[in-house]
Amino acid sequence: MKTASVTKYDPVKYKTPTGTTLNCKGWIQEAALRMLLNNLNPEVAERPDDLIVYGGRGKAARNFDALDKIIAGLKILENDESLLIQSGKPIGILKTHKDAPRVLISNSQLVPNWANWKHFDELEKKGLMMYGQMTAGSWIYIGSQGIVQGT
């Protein structure tokens, strides 16, 4: 039986964990989970119902289905695996090693001939792309101070 996909931010379901209890298999995965969920917290995010963290377009995940799969992936990710995220959507978990990054994220990558807003917008409308801004898509938004320091 198929369940209806979430299309709105649920503050209970997406509450950022705190404290010393792990929800993942290691603290590195837990840190990624907490950063992701914190970026979408209504006290932080510009429009959590649209997964917009800041800047009018900067998203933390492509859609709620992708968000749920990212969260599920982080929770099962072993300490010798890496979760691959392509423009806000998880595309795989690879066996790596304990010193490899737990999460590898690539957002909004277009080759020069197609690297324009018109083409990007077409891909976004088809659900194939998202705009991660500078820190929303990498789950490290800490407010305007972080943007100023990052530029």
What local confidence, expressed as pLDDT, does residue 133 receive? 85
Residue 4 lies in a domain: no
Q: Which residue has the higher pLDDT, 2 or 67?
A: 67
Query: What is the separation, in whole angstroms, between the first and last Cα of the chain?
Result: 48
Q: Residue 5: inside a domain, yes or no? A: no
In a domain, residue 96? The reply is yes
Domain of residue 56 covers 27-140
Mean pLDDT of 75-93: 98
pLDDT tens digits along 44-71: 999 999 999 998 899 999 999 999 999 9
pLDDT digits (tens, 9 = 90+) for 123-141: 999 999 998 887 888 888 8
Distance between CA atoms of residues 2 and 25, nearest Å: 28
Q: Which of 68-82, 95-109, 116-130, 136-150 has the lowest mean pLDDT?
A: 136-150
Tokens (6 digits) for 72:
């599920």
Do 87 and 124 contact (CB within 8 A), yes or no?
Answer: no
Total of domains in the chain: 1
- Token code pair at residue 81: 């695996």
